[in-house]
Amino acid sequence: MSGIHAVAKVHGRDHALALALWETGWYEARTLCAFVDEPQRVT
């Protein structure tokens, strides 16, 4: 989990990246979405 958090800090908030990560279907990528997506744009 610390590795995922470190990656999120490098990329910052990015809705487009979060969408692309979600589409992969990978657990780790979807977990990263929670850190990089913009909260106001999550539905």
Please tell me the predicted confidence (pLDDT) of residue 1. 87
Identify the domain containing residue 33 by its residue range: 2-41
pLDDT band at 16 (very low <50, low <70, confident <90, very high): very high
CA geometry: angle 39, 40, 43, nearest 5 deg: 85
Question: What is the spatial distance between Cα 40 and Cα 10, in angstroms, rounded to a whole number?
Answer: 20
pLDDT band at 22 (very low <50, low <70, confident <90, very high): very high
Number of structural domains found in the chain: 1
Environment class of 10 (CB within 10 Å of its CB; exposed 0-12, middle 13-18, buried 19+): exposed
